[in-house]
Every structure is written in C-alpha cells, then in structure tokens.
Chains A and B, each alone.
Chain A
Amino acid sequence: MIPLALLGAMTSLQTIVLGLIALVAIIAALGVVLHRNPVVQGLFLVLNLLAIAGLYALLGAYFFAVIQVLVYAGAVMVLIIFVIMLLNLQPAARGGSGLTPVFFAFVLGLALVSLLVRAGRSFAPPEAALAEGFGSVAQMGSSLFMGYFYPFEVISLALVAAMAGAILFAKRDLEG
C-alpha cells in the first residue's frame, strides 16, 4: 500500500525505477518468508538482494552495490543454497506453525513497521547536493584504512573466529 501511494506521487523516471525496484524487493522478501520450498526461498532472496543492490546504485553507492552483488548475492547465497542442496531439504509441510505465532508475528510486524515508518518520516534529510566521490572505491578505501582501521581489523578477527566456529560445528567427528 505504501509503495503504491508513493508511486502515485512520483513523476520522474528515477521515481518510477525506484518504485519498481521497491516493488520487486518487497515481493521477493514476501516470497522468502512465505514460500515453502527452501530452494525457491533462496532464489527469492537472491532476487531481493539484487533489487537492493540496484537501489544502492540508484542512491549513488556504486561500490557498495557491486559488493552487495559479489559478496551477498554471490558468495553468501551460494553457501546457503549449497547447504540447502546438501541437506536435500523438502518443502515444509502445510499448516506450518499454527495461528498463535502468526498472530504474534503479525502484531509485532505491524507495530514495527508503523513505528519505523513514523521514525523515518520524522527524519528530514537536508536537501544537499551529493558529496563528491560518494560511493567511490577511493572514499571507501581511505575511510576503511584510516578512520576505521581498528574496527576493520577486529571484524577480520571476527570472521576468522566465525570460520573456526563453522568448521567446529559442521565437522562430523572432532577426533577424526
């Protein structure tokens, strides 16, 4: 409903593209959440991620859009779908988890979305021109390796730890 309402208010080409991308992202997200076949869910997620990457590009964050496609829609999703295939998962049974969780989820989801929309509305971005070099590799690089050097290193540590943890969990027999 909200994207439709927005759509009516937009005129330029950019707005139309934006609306389309948003529509695709929402439909893909609903597909992830509602579809019963894991493989289809995974593909919907890929679609969603790609849509968001497009949105990034539209917002001017070109580098991040590329990263999103490479890392998220590429590597991470390959991993997920690989595991789905590996476990040979069957589609979930109908009826799923009953009405109570759905009710709670609905209430919480609605509350969340209304609150977030209200919060987003109150956020009024200054109409400033896009800073020069926004979303470029140079900007990201200098920022990462100068201002955010230590957090960056810590993140790499976290990745190593996660790797070790994943191996530990997935390994069949620790002694072997």
Chain B
Amino acid sequence: MPDAPSAALLLSAVLFSIGTFGVLTRRGAITILMSIELMLNAGNLALISVSRSLPGGGADGQVLALFVLAIAAAEAAVGLGLVIALFRLKGSIDIDLARLLRW
C-alpha cells in the first residue's frame, strides 16, 4: 500500500510527462515556458519526497530543490526576456517563427 512519498513520486512522474507533452505540442513561447516550469516542479516534488526517506535528516533534497527553484526563477526571467525580444521582432510569440538557425 503506497504511502505519501511514493504517491508524490508517482505524481511527479505524471506531472513531468504532462509538462513534456506541453513542450512538444504547443507553439506559444509562454506556454512552453510554463510547461517547463511544470516539469521543474515535478522534479522538485520528486526531490522533496525522496529526501524525506534519506538518512541524514533529509536536508539535501530540500537544498537541491531550492537551487532548482532559483534556477527556475532565473530561467523564467531570461526566457521571458527572450519572449519579449521575439515578440518585438516577429509580432508574435510563435516559436516556429524563430527557425533561421538551420542548414
């Protein structure tokens, strides 16, 4: 019978896959960005739930999750900057429009 951490792990797997689905199917840059946030959160959830059962008080997982959170904030800032730049350039945030860098 699954307890709380195992259920959280399973949930994190489901959320991660949903985020993946979003990244792969959507064309709006902000939607993709939000899907990535979903995926990062799923990762965080896994870290926290696993760290609970680890020896040593379980602080490690939380600290790592904190780092992920910081990086996610940074990524959101840079990503949104890019989105604004893209919008300014193309008048749209459709990611498929930014495809100049090819063979």
Contacts and interface: CB of A to CB of B under 8 A. Distances in A.
Q: Do chains A and B directly touch (beta carbons under 8 Å) in the complex? A: yes
B25 A33 contact: yes
A32 B27 contact: no
B: contact size bracket: 35 or more
A116 B16 contact: yes
Contacts, number: 249
Interface of B: 1-28, 30-31, 33-35, 37-38, 41, 44-45, 48-50, 52-53, 56-60, 62-63, 65-67, 69-78, 80-85, 87-88, 93, 96
Main secondary structure of the interface of A (DSSP, over half): helix
A83 B65 contact: no
A76 B24 contact: no
Max chain A CB contacts within 10 Å: which of B1, B56, B75, B76?
B76
Interface string A43-80: 00100110010011011110110011001100110011
A4 interface: no
Contact of B84 (A3, A29, A63, A169): A169
B66 A104 contact: no
